[in-house]
Chain A
Amino acid sequence: MIFGRLQRVGTGLLTLTLLLAGCGSDAGNQPIDLSGGVPVGAVLALTGNANVYGQDQKTGLELALKQRNGSGGINGRPLKLALEDSGSDEPGANAAFTLQINRGVLALVGPTLSQQAFSADPIAQRRGVPVVAPSNTATGIPEIGFFISRVSAQSSVIAPLAIDRALKLQPGLKRAAVFYAQDDAYSTAETTIFQKALKEKGLDPVTVQRTQLNDQDFQNQISAALREKPDLIVLSLQAVDGGNLIRQLRELGYKGLIVAGNGMNTPNIYPICQKYCDGLLIAQAYSPELDTPANGAFLKAFKATSGGATPPQLTAQAYTALQVIGEALERLDRRQPLSAATLTAARKELMAEILSGTYQTPLGEIRFTPTGEVIQSQFFVAQVRMDPGGRSGRFALLQ
């Protein structure tokens, strides 16, 4: 009897959820809610294993917001940024995207990881909300649809530059060893590009070693690689595991050149590999040493808030993403006032506006292809130079 009643309780619960489900509504043809400013959203990985990246990006967004609202906002109306944490997984990114879109934002910055982008971007595409990705480097992101774009150049463009530079520094290189984390999307995507670039230079990798994202001890893989007597080591790893691996490589006696990918392109590696970071070659989409007015202003703002440190690439790219949205919104608002537009129409117009502009950013001059892929005028190769104490260092631009 009890269970019979409970069955009814269960059915009741299910009906309740069903009713709640029916309440979901779309803010489709409403006007834009401009109270408090022009609404823009950001979804970043502020928790989980990618939180280091998300924190760097948050700094960039805050600086861009301050810059924009300090110079008049969107034609006199302030830009209003809502930031949500996506965690470092896909369901988190989907939930945060949906929440932001339901809030009625005009455009989104994010998500932090390419894997999250493959899951969350289709939601924005289906609902017609512009996305400017600040850090997705995997192949195929802008191809998700019209509304998806990025300011982060894909790794297939950047990664080979570091190999070219290594060969220029030491033309006699013959034996390359490759490391990558087999359970990490960024890592596996980038290593394919590195290996292809190596092959094109006639440097067929003598060994390819697989690690795991959360590994800390790499002695097995390093010993196996060092047995092949490599004179160049190419890493596609994130900051923490990559830093540890470099440290152990040097401790186990490797003396040759090391090339690292985008994952280690952050000052966060200094405390991990310390003096052993010295000499590391990295191709970059952003160099703090770029001498342009846009980068000068960004550097000044960053140094004022961080006590003189140099900004990492992720911060510069996040800054750029919000700058692009800000400038596009300004142009759109001048052409057809936002206060008179419906949300759906404004989002669509904004996307076209984003794609049509040319932007003077900390990354240099950038434009977009019609699919939303970034066209960046210059890339950089830097070599890490550590201070004598091994506590801090800098990415020295190689001319």
Chain B
Amino acid sequence: MDAALLEQMLLGALLALSVYLPLRCGQLSLATPGFYAVGGYVAALLSTGVPAFAGTGATSPLPALLVEMALGGSLAGLIALAIGRPVLRLRGIYLAIATIALVEILRVLNLNLPFTGGAMGIFGIPQPFAHPEGYVLFTLVLLAVACWLCQRLEVLRLGRAMLAIRDDELAAASVGIDTPRTKLIAFVASAVLAGVTGALAAHFLNAWNARVGSFDASITTLAFVVFGGSRFWLGPVLGGLALTALPELLRPVGDLRLILFGGVILLGPLFFPQGLVTAERLRWLGALLGRGRGRRKPLAP
């Protein structure tokens, strides 16, 4: 498999996790591409405008990338923090509409701000890695950390509180869970993850413009989670990897590839309404692995 495609898939998986975080406490937020765009603009502006970030050699310095990711994530997080309180008073489809509006506002801002390069965007972004393999390794580490944090949520008080809100917000509030605060944390965490991913993606894509943060992108990232399953972090990761790879892997079928891709998106939720990864399938998989280990054990001397 080609490393450049693998990198696209990993970025898809990170974005899927960003959509998954608010969904984990029952909040349908479509704002991920907006924050992704913001993170990318931070990286693009810094690395093309500040000599220290661009470096002098063939590749731009790695610490600069880390600073950009931190700044991109922070800016996205700050925006989420500022608008989170009022927006998260909304629920369900109303929250979704409000976040679509947010994506649209950010898009029009990015098109018209004097320093974001208009519709042409920013191009000639320097490369921190000479080969796509470098990006893949770096992104794998990032994804592993994100997955580990999501895994920790399963046992942490915060994660449990999120699950309680998803199941029944009223009940969760009545047992003393600070529901507005928990929802805000999930929303901000989602924005930070999207911002960090954007900062990395801007380098990888060489150029950055307002089209990365469009309504279409909102739907695509949501499809990752719907396809993969929203109950456990492995679902969105699988969904993001699979749905980013599929259009490319289907190239041999020629003109039919987008029709087939559409068919897969359609059939996925039809046959797996809860997504590919569900609690039952996880338990089944766990039991299978457990049995495998159980059988092996007696063989050991």
Closest to B1 in A: A20
A21, A22, A95, A138, most chain B CB atoms within 10 A: A21
Interface status of A252 (Cβ within 8 A of chain B): no
B3 proximity list for chain A (CB < 8 A): 21, 24
In the assembled complex, the Cα of A92 lies from the Cα of B250 at a distance in Å of: 13
Contact with A along B162-206 (1 / 0, CB 8 A): 000000000000000000000000000000000000000000011
A115→B133 contact, CB < 8 A? no
| Chain A CB within 8 A of B4 CB | yes
Known: A118-B123, A119-B205. A20 touches B6 (CB 8 A): yes
Decide: B4 and A114 in contact? CB cutoff 8 A: no
Chain B residues numbered 127-143 whose CB sits less than 8 Å from any CB in chain A: 127, 130, 132-133, 136-137, 140, 143
**Which chain A residues in 178-223 approach chain B with CB under 8 Å?**
181-185, 187-189
In the complex, A90 Cα to B285 Cα: how many Å? 38
Residues of B within 8 A of A184 (CB): 119
Judged by a CB distance under 8 angstroms, whether A91 is at the interface is yes
Most buried by B among A3, A94, A189: A94
**Which candidate, A9-17, A29-37, A296-304, is the interface stretch facing chain B?**
A9-17
Q: Which residues of A contact B143 (CB under 8 A)?
A: 14
Q: Does residue A168 face the partner (Cβ distance < 8 Å to B)?
A: no
Looking across the interface, which residue of chain A has its beta carbon closest to that of B279? Answer: A2
Judging by beta carbons under 8 Å apart, are A14 and B4 in contact? Answer: no
Alpha-carbon gap, A279 to B230, bound state (A): 57
Are B286 and A183 neighbours in the complex by a CB distance under 8 Å? no
Main secondary structure of the interface of A (DSSP, over half): helix
> Considering the chains assembled together, what is the distance between the CA atoms of A295 and B205 in angstroms?
38
B124 and A115 within 8 A (CB)? no
- In the complex, the answer to whether B286 meets A1 with C-beta atoms within 8 Å is yes
Instruction: Across the interface, name the chain A residue whose C-beta is closest to B141.
Output: A14
B:8-31 near A, CB below 8 Å:
8-10
Q: Which of B120, B130, B205, B283 contacts A188, CB < 8 Å?
A: B120
Q: A227 an interface residue at 8 Å Cβ cutoff?
A: no
A129 CB to nearest B CB, Å:
14
- Assuming A18-B137, A115-B120, A115-B207, is B286 touching A5 (CB within 8 A)? yes
Chain B hits for A115, CB < 8 A: 119-121, 207, 209, 211
Give chain B residues whose Cβ lies under 8 Å from the Cβ of A90: 205, 207, 209, 211-212
Measured CA separation A145–B248 after assembly (Å): 27
A182 touches B258 (CB 8 A): no
CB neighbours (8 Å) of A47 from chain B are 258
For A94, what are the chain B residues with a Cβ–Cβ distance below 8 Å?
4, 8, 205-206
Docked-complex contact A182 and B286, CB < 8 angstroms: no
Q: Which chain B residues border A3 with CB–CB below 8 Å?
A: 151, 154-155
Interface string of A125-161 (1 = CB under 8 A from B): 0100000000000101000100000000000000000
Judge whether A358 is part of the interface by a CB distance below 8 angstroms: no
> Which A residues are in CB contact (< 8 Å) with B4?
94-95, 98, 123
At the interface, yes or no: A267 with Cβ under 8 Å from chain B?
no
Q: Which residues of B lie under 8 Å from residue A8 when comparing CB positions?
A: 289
Q: Given A18-B140, A118-B207, does the pair A185, B121 have CB atoms closer than 8 Å? A: yes
Interface residues of A in 206-248 (CB under 8 A from B): none
Q: Is B251 an interface residue (CB 8 A)?
A: yes
Give complex CA distance A11, B144 in Å: 8
* Other-chain residue from B8, B132, B144, B211 in contact with A24 (beta carbon distance below 8 A): B132
Q: A202 to B178, alpha carbons, bound, how many Å? A: 65
CB neighbours (8 Å) of B123 from chain A are 118-119, 140
Check A95 against B8 for contact (C-beta < 8 Å).
Answer: yes
- Residues from chain B with Cβ under 8 Å of A17 in the complex: 6, 9-10, 136, 140, 241
User: Who on chain A is nearest to B151 by CB?
Assistant: A7
A84: CB under 8 A from chain B?
Answer: yes
Cα distance A47–B262 in the bound complex, in angstroms: 13
Point out the residue from A6, A84, A87 that lies within 8 Å of B285, measured CB to CB.
Answer: A6
State which of B124, B210, B241 has its C-beta within 8 Å of the C-beta of A183: B210
If A5-B290, A24-B132, A122-B206 touch, whether A188 touches B119 (CB-CB below 8 Å) is yes
Closest to B8 in A: A91
B223 CB-CB contact with A under 8 Å: no
Given contacts A14-B144, A122-B206, are A84 and B1 in contact (CB under 8 A)?
no
Q: Is A10's CB under 8 angstroms from B248's CB?
A: no
User: Is B260 an interface position by the 8 A CB rule?
Assistant: no
Question: In the bound complex, how far is the Cα of B285 from the Cα of A182, in angstroms?
Answer: 51
Chain A positions 59-104 with a Cβ under 8 Å from a chain B Cβ: 84-85, 87, 89-92, 94-95, 98-99, 102
A199 and B251 alpha carbons, distance in the complex (Å): 48
Is A23 an interface position by the 8 A CB rule?
Answer: yes
A8 and B293 CA atoms in complex are apart in Å by: 13
Report the Cα distance A118→B133, complex, angstroms: 21
* Chain A residues, Cβ within 8 Å of B107: 183
Distance from B186 Cβ to chain A, minimum over Cβ atoms (Å): 19
Docked complex Cα distance between A19 and B148 (Å): 20
Closest partner residue, chain A, to B5 (CB atom): A95
Quick one: which of B69-119 are within 8 Å of A by CB?
A: 107, 111-112, 118-119
User: A residues engaging B (CB < 8 A)?
Assistant: 1-3, 5-11, 14, 17-18, 20-24, 46-47, 84-85, 87, 89-92, 94-95, 98-99, 102, 114-115, 118-120, 122-123, 126, 138, 140, 144, 181-185, 187-189
What are 11 A-B contacts with C-beta separation under 8 Å?
A1-B290, A2-B283, A3-B155, A17-B6, A90-B209, A91-B8, A91-B205, A118-B124, A118-B206, A144-B124, A188-B118
Nearest 4 CB-CB pairs, A to B? A118-B123, A24-B3, A118-B207, A2-B286
